[in-house]
A and B are shown apart, each in its own frame.
Chain A
Amino acid sequence: MSGNAKEQILDFVRARYPQAEIDETQDIFALGFVNSLFAMELVMYIEKTFEVTIPNDELKIDNFRSANTMAELVDRLSPARV
């Protein structure tokens, strides 16, 4: 799940910012052109794509800094698999 989520999130960010060279560890906010509006779009994308609900206490910028941290968030919010 995590690896797949990471790739999907990276694809989403790269599609929006094709000029950026982004890897899974890169802080997308440090790149300078990602703003709060895009952060909200990321929230909506993650909720819809991975069928999770991101509670308010998880709406912190550190959760959305990189594909890695977003994939970790998805893992935390996804129902446990058996």
Chain B
Amino acid sequence: MAPRTLAEKVWERHVVHRAEGEPDLLYVDLHLVHEVTSPQAFDGLRLAGRTVRRPDLTVATMDHNVPTAPGPEDPVSRRQMEALERNCDEFGIRLFPTGSIGQGIVHVIGPQMGLTQPGLFIVCGDSHTSTHGAFGALAIGIGTSEVEHVLATQTLSQARPGTMAVTVDGDLPLGVSAKDVILAIIATIGTAGGVGHVIEYRGSAIRSLSMEGRMTICNMSIEAGARAGMVAPDDTTFAYVQGRPSAPSGAQWEEALEDWRSLPTDEGAVFDREVTIDGGSLRPHVSWGTNPGHTVTIDDVVPEPADETAERALAYMGLRPGTPIREIRPDTVFIGSCTNSRIEDLREAAGILEGRTVRPGLRAMVVPGSMLVKRQAEEEGLDRIFTAAGFEWRDAGCSMCLGMNPDQLAPGERCASTSNRNFEGRQGKGGRTHLVSPAVAAATAVAGSFATPQDIGV
């Protein structure tokens, strides 16, 4: 057989129906559901008198709307969460609602339960489904019509994507994290650089990352426009999956391992596009504009606008070209979101904050990606480090990643955020987002202006 890429292998094993001139019909191994993109899909099922074909391959949680601290409830958000509860009840779907220990951001709970495994085809009505590709799964974000289609048929029809290799070699310098790698990749290939393609992240810098780091990278594939992002499974992957509640065990574990070891891209397989990045020369990145391609390194200055979009972005962000990034002073620091809210992200930030305090006048919050991450962090004492430093310690949810719940920026407020999107108004109307790594976020909280851990003497 001709050498194949990881993406091609995973794709091929899910083809249910293939015909000339039609997209392939693929079987979905795992369907993740949340409250925002599902109510109309369930309505569609009811209207047509259809059922959910595989409730056992479907799991739901609440994340986008949930408040992460006690306070007055938004009745409209409540209504959306109640609709999910009713729908899961009616169609027999397992739900992790607010208040349950299994609740969390949809892309954090899948891996945490061991449901996310190599070789699977995973979908969710959410563009950051690409996160799960870190396990060597093919994971794509879909719209609500497709959510309905998957609920009814457990399949999805998909045109074959192109394949793209992004190779990052070299040793990442001190202070450079997975977040900086993906921001650098997006800066290199552009926000539409991956359109129509599945990106496979390769190279020694990727191999040396933990699963959390790989998830951060795959998570933001969509910010490069890609259909999905993947990393070939290896011993790091297997060690992460083993022993989790939904992981195979005993003889099935051995069988799974043998299968997973056959997934990585074959020697000699050809990608439609290839990009190489020197990991050894990367620096921490900070975004200055209103799309994730608008980034520079922390050592740079705000650039001269190259086009009208950039001019608009500078005006929106209230920034002047030539301003050193290190002189920009955020009002808020947010550590959280499906990009950077896992235990390793929290450990990294806490390591920097230990024995230090947040600059007076600055608001800082940390929002674990799931209630289990929260519990684990508390067991490790991270919560005490955060609160002693002056951070708010919240319950799990999407929180300030998007302006859909009580955690929002005020107009004009500037935020150093570990989330993934710096679009206008993303974190609240008129809010100004700077995307950074957890390490830079923590150091910035202490310094009061953008800083690396080294800048504050870590």
User: Are A and B bound to each other?
Assistant: no
